[in-house]
Every structure is written in C-alpha cells, then in structure tokens.
Structure 1
C-alpha cells in the first residue's frame, strides 16, 4: 500500500507530525510527499522559511510534470491525502484525480477547532473579522466553482472532534480525529513540571511569516521584532 500526500506547501518537520508519516512508515506503508508549492499561483510566491528535504519528497516545477506522475499511480493500491484549496486553478487537478478513479481523503484539522480559553472581546473581534473576510472570499470562490463541486468530494474526511457534518460528504464518510498536538500532550502530560507550578509554553516559529497571512495579504510584525520581544 502507498500513501501520496499532495500539498500546496513544502515539506517541514511539522508536516511529518501533521500527517503521522513516521507511524505509517513504521507499518511498512510507502509514503511520498508531492510538493506543488511552485506550481500553484496562490502558493508559489509565499516565503516558506522552514522547508526540509527528505528522500520521499517530490517537488514539481509544472502541472504537466505533475499530471505525468499522477497518470502512473496504481489506483488499486494508492490513497491520496490532498491538501489543496479548491480553486479555479486546481479544478483540473481534482477532475484528473476523479477521472483516474484514485481514492483520496482530506485531513481537516481546523474545521472544528476547540476553544481552550476565553478570549478577550478585542481578540474575538479580530478573529470574527478575519473569519468574515475568509467567508466572503469562500462564497465568491464557491459561486464560481458551483458546477464543479462534485469534484471536491473525498472518499473520507478526517475532522477534529466528533462533528458529523461536512459539506456534501455523507456522515458515514466523516471520521473524528484528534489533532496531533493533543496526542503529544497525552503522551507527555505525566512528565514532571520544569518549574513546579502551572505554566504555558507558546512555540509558534511560523507566526510572523505564516503562509496564511501572506496568502491573505495581511500584515504581521517583522520576524526579528517578534522573536526579540
């Protein structure tokens, strides 16, 4: 059996955890990571500063090269994990996957996030403003893509929590999945505290240059200022 991850971002250590790659390899499942970051218009101009090379990562320079590799897939023994935005540019990719009868799944870790703290009104206002901007863009995108929505139907969807609701996907094809950070916490929560009292460790090396901020043309603090403060 083989799993091929088709991604719009380069590979990094976070992706290794995100897709449970080592766990699959431990079970002798062949893994490939197909990087389309330099092919897609919405991704190719992003500054990715934490890329990591691996022997199972394939980088594509153009769509013809990608389609050639896609044509060679054995659809009886291969499953795709697809992490691409469903946009006008990617419709042809989803159509090609459907035409080749390749089974594919989506891991949507952010579809049903969990609130673990009560944010301030200011933070709430910022979050809802960003979500509203995202929704407006999604509505416009979905309007243009309406006649092709049937292509955006994975065989299975993995979502955080137990929410059995996902657009157009039958409930029996929706599977609850804990985010990998929660799994790590469960494994390490019994380890002795470093300072003898409750504390929070905040580690987000991507935040100042997060790809989502760049894709949305949203400004952020400079990385040097962020880490200095």
Structure 2
C-alpha cells in the first residue's frame, strides 16, 4: 500500500463529525493504522467545553512543540506516514509546518466545503474595523507566506479538492501554491451525504419548514478566534418571533436542524418548544418544504435536493457579525434566492422556483465535479490511500 499510517492533526479535540467526515473508521477497516493528534493545548488556553470523541480512535494529546517533535522523530517508518492537516492555512500554524518541513513529512489537506465568499470590504471599511489581534494575525500570515515562497516551509504534497473552487477553503493560499501538489478530485462531505440518501424512500414529505441553525451567538469558534458576535438574549427572541410569522403564513411548523456544537440546546429550550433535531440535517432537508438559512455550509443540502432557500439576517447580525450579513446577501444573489431582515415585520418573500442554472453552477464550483458526482469521497479516498505507487 502507498501508506501504512494516517495521522490526522488538528488544534481542537476530536469530534464525532470530524471522525466521520475524514473517514477514520473506513481507513482503519482498510488496514491502515490511524491516529489523531490533538494540539488544542498548544494553541489555546481552553477547549471551551467542546465535545471530545477521542475514544473513537487512538488519540495523542500534545502540550508543547517539544513533545510533538519527539513524536514525529519516533515514528518508525515516517516515509509511509501521511499527515492530514485539519487546520486552516494561516499564520498561527507556522511553527507546526516548520516541523513538518524539518522532517520532510508527507502532508495532505482537504480543500472542500467551501462556499461563495462575499466581496471584500473597501479599504476604508477595513481600516475602521482594524484591531491589534487582526494586525498580529496578518503579520504572522505574511511571515508564513514568505517562508513558503522562499522554500523554507514545505507546501502540501497532496490535496483533495471538492469542486473547482474547493481549494479556497484551505486558507490563505492561491492556486499557484498547489500547482506542484498531487490533486485528487473529491466531493464536499455534504454532497457525499446527499449521494448516500438521495435514492432512499422518504418517511414523510413537505410537512415542515427547516431552519439550518448555526448556533450563532454561542458558537465556540467565536471565542476561540475572538470573533465579534450577536447576543443570545437578542438573537433567539427575534428568531422565534420570525418563525411565528413563517408558521402563520405557510401553515407549517418550523423544525430546527441543530448545529452539531450546540450543546446548550440539549439542556435549555431556545426555540419556544419547537422541534430541535441533531445530526439529521440531510434527511430533514430532503423531506422539507423549503429551507431557511443564514450562511451555513449546510445549504449544500437544499441545493443538492433542489429545495428553495430563504436567507435571513437582522439589524443585530449586521451590527454584530457583519460578515454573516454580507454572506447572506451574497448567497441570495449567487443562488437566485431572496433574503429578509427578520426584525422587519414583512411577509416572507420566498422565491416561486429555484434557478436551475445557478444551483448547477454552485454544484460544480463547491460540491463536486463531473468525474466524481456519482462516486463518494470515501471510495475515492480509500482507493487512493491503499493503491500502490
């Protein structure tokens, strides 16, 4: 086989979703050794009570670069090990990638699950929002990019790309950075889930409206990366009032497809008694009448199933997390859908029918390719890992 061992490396604890999305069980079943290297304590002071599924696969937790370097050195057959980075290419990973370069580790990354980015703000808007942390991160990134360009930090050896623009999800790189990498066409994980479910019979159909929750006010990433946010005490009441109007207009209930990190939903009622469902977004989407969303990557599902999408924002979102607001407007335009401020007391202006042309363009840009649209990434990935050179 091409590789004997796969090491997934990330600066957050292992979750069930990551375990599934990166095919760890399937890789083990194919006869390869699998480990998950958790660098959380090297990058952050807390794991912010995130899910920990380290029981699913052999996991090593590192507290320092010294420990990490020793682990790399101690790998008995390093040339047959593939390191898969589950981290954005940005300034903070410079020291880590210097270690990969020092020991000439085989390094791979998935470029997928991307979506259309809203246009950049003007120079003066950016200047108005500048912060010390943003300046520091920018300087770190510039230093990393310089080291890469000078050949002092290695580039990825292998990239798995979902859609023609999937590479944009890797981080602060351009296509030139990937020109020497071995490129393997795959799908977005959402598109793979769609493939697995599309031909199954539905239990029931068209009797509810689905909301793709993003856990906006309480998402742990906003704390990890110091992202400005909306307040829960404003967001949820506004959202529930809007859902009341939606339900009245369409005479259908709104069901919540909970974000996988929304642990608080399991102990508190944030949606006024509405049904909240975890880990069933693809099935829920398939059987829904239409979908309501902000800028969740889960819009892949209604696009794949050809469902209408209604995008929503609010004045508080515009004020608190402007990027989400701008993405909402951009998504709506990109897909030929409508958007709405939930705090404006207007009728829900749902589109009459989807734009097949725009949905199709999204499909091949961000979800799949002509070569892989009927084949799962799981098949492609395992075949690649186990084949001989």
Normalised by the size of structure 1, how large is the TM-score? Answer: 0.76
Which ranges of structure 2 fall in alignment gaps of 5 or more residues?
168-173, 233-261, 272-389
Residue 20 of structure 1: how far off its partner (Å): 1.1
Q: Which has the larger radius of gyration?
A: 2
Q: How does 1:1-229 map to 2 (within 5 A)?
A: 1-40=4-43, 43-54=44-55, 55-73=57-75, 74-86=77-89, 89-110=92-113, 112-113=114-115, 139-149=138-148, 150=151, 151=153, 153-163=155-165, 166-170=175-179, 173-197=182-206, 201-202=210-211, 207-214=216-223, 215-222=225-232, 228-229=270-271
Summarize deviations over 1:177-207 as a string: whole Å, max 9, x none.
2122221211112223233327665565765
Q: CA deviation at 1:18?
A: 2.0
CA distance in 2, matches of 1:194, 1:202: 19
Judge conservation of contact 1:108–1:160 (CA < 8 Å) in 2: yes
The 3-state SS of whatever aligns with 2:222 is helix
- Output the aligned Cα RMSD: 3.3
User: CA, structure 1 residues 203+23, in 2 after alignment: closer, same or farther (shift >3 Å)?
Assistant: farther
Displacement of 1:3 after TM fit? 0.2
- Between 203-212 and 213-222, the greater mean CA deviation after superposition: 203-212
Q: 1:206 to 1:28 in 2, by over 3 A?
A: farther
CA distance 1:172–1:34, change in 2 (3 Å): closer
Deviation at residue 50 of structure 1 after TM alignment: 1.7
8 Å CA contact 1:208–1:220 kept in 2: the answer is: yes
More helix per residue: 1 or 2? 2
SS at match of 2:40: coil
Paired residues, number? 213
Unpaired segments ≥5 residues, structure 1:
116-123
1: CA distance between counterparts of 2:178 and 2:25? 28
Farther off after superposition, 172-181 or 162-171: 162-171
Determine helix, strand or coil for the equivalent of 1:145: helix
Superposition deviation, residue 29 in structure 1? 1.1
Residues of 1 paired with 2:58 and 2:215: CA distance? 23
Contact 2:13 2:40 in 1 (8 A): yes
